[in-house]
Amino acid sequence: MFRGSITALITPFREGQVDEKAFQDLVEWQIQQGVHGLVPCGTTGESPSLTHEEHERIVDLCVEVAAKRVPVIAGTGSNSTSEAVSLTRHAAAAGAAAALVVMPYYNKPTPEGQYQHFKAIAENVDIPIIIYNIPGRCVVDMTVDTMGRLAKIPNIIGVKDATGDATRPSRVRQLIGKDFCQLSGEDGCVPAMLAHGGHGCISVTANVAPALCVAMHEAWQTGDTNLALEIHDQLTPLNDALFVETSPGPVKYALSLLGHCLPELRLPMTDIKGSTKELVHAALESVGLLDVGERQWQAAT
């Protein structure tokens, strides 16, 4: 079972190419900060803009640095079923602990099409699969009933829920059972997910505040809900700021301020606005994460 704070890793770029050193350094820093898992090549990792070779290389690098110290849940989804099968096979061969498979975007498959898509992937690989349900990006929403059908397939073991629907975890739990892994895909919804029987979060915010995100989940796991909510309140301005513009623009900028990578994005993503930079800067200060001089702040802007 996967649980706790699992970081949805960004993919650093330098002059248009994957910055492998920055990526590996980021993975090591995340592990040193205590994260409970890592997700390379998800939406936050700009997976739609990666070549297949880059995608597979990033998964390899993450697995190599993690060295089984924390589980790697590789993003392997696509709106092409055969492509998703190929990427998931690679993740399994690379040593990933599981695959995160996003709903088929753009195609708008029916519930039966969704079922057949995930079934085909699951039957072609020997690795646990987590459904990534994010209707805000994929247009389609997987119903609880369809998820219940898929949960009968042995290696489909959970969901990353980015619906923002606080009632969903309870309905999934009631239909499928408490052992079906439910991970929030929205940092702002973490306490609601945990309170309804969820197990953790695949987090954007954990890129820049891994130790705080870990502390929040561990406080909840030990029954100290007051402390968990206190930390969540502390993180809320940062959670909000990192989504003022389309992710991962703001989170990459935040990581650049902390010295982990360049804020470079790959088209069609473009540099965030100056006003967004100010909000991100202020949020990092409010959480107590920014300890840089004015000169570095000016250079980053």
Q: What is the pTM of this model?
A: 0.95
**300 located within any domain:** no
Residue holding tokens 């301020």? 257
**82 located within any domain:** yes
How many structural domains compose the chain?
A: 1
Task: Count CB atoms within 10 A of the CB of residue 169.
Answer: 25
**283 located within any domain:** no
Tokens of 2: 């996967």
What integer pLDDT is reported at residue 292 of this predicted model? 47
Give the whole-angstrom CA distance, residue 188 versus residue 89.
Answer: 33
**254 located within any domain:** no
What integer pLDDT is reported at residue 229 of this predicted model? 98
Give the whole-angstrom CA distance, residue 191 versus residue 91.
Answer: 30
Q: What is the mean pLDDT, run by run of 10 residues, along the chain of 301 residues?
A: 96 98 98 98 96 98 98 97 98 98 95 98 97 94 97 98 94 97 97 96 98 98 98 97 97 98 97 97 95 43 39
What integer pLDDT is reported at residue 1 of this predicted model? 80
**259 located within any domain:** no
CB 257 within 8 A of CB 300: yes
**149 located within any domain:** yes
CA distances from 119 to 35, 101, 114 (A): 30, 11, 8
Q: Which member of 105, 132, 252, 277 is catalytic?
A: 132
**163 located within any domain:** yes
What integer pLDDT is reported at residue 293 of this predicted model? 44
**179 located within any domain:** yes
What integer pLDDT is reported at residue 298 of this predicted model? 40
Q: Which member of 105, 115, 160, 253 is catalytic?
A: 160
What integer pLDDT is reported at residue 58 of this predicted model? 98
Among 36, 2, 35, 37, which residue's Cα sits nearest to residue 199?
A: 2
| Three state DSSP letters for the chain | CCCEEEEECCCCEECCEECHHHHHHHHHHHHHCCCCEEECCCHHHCHHHCCHHHHHHHHHHHHHHHCCCCCEEEECCCCCHHHHHHHHHHHHHHCCCEEEEECCCCCCCCHHHHHHHHHHHHHHCCCCEEEEECHHHHCCCCCHHHHHHHCCCCCEEEEEECCCCCCHHHHHHHHHCCCCEEEECCHHHHHHHHHCCCCEEEECHHHCCHHHHHHHHHHHHCCCHHHHHHHHHHHHHHHHHCCCCCCCHHHHHHHHHCCCCCCCCCCCCCCCCHHHHHHHHHHHHHHCCCCCCHHHHHHHC
What integer pLDDT is reported at residue 225 of this predicted model? 97
Domain interval for residue 134: 4-222
**CATH number for the domain including 22?**
3.20.20.70
The answer for residues whose C-beta is within 8 angstroms of residue 21's C-beta and 6 or more apart is none
The answer to whether 160 is a known catalytic residue is yes
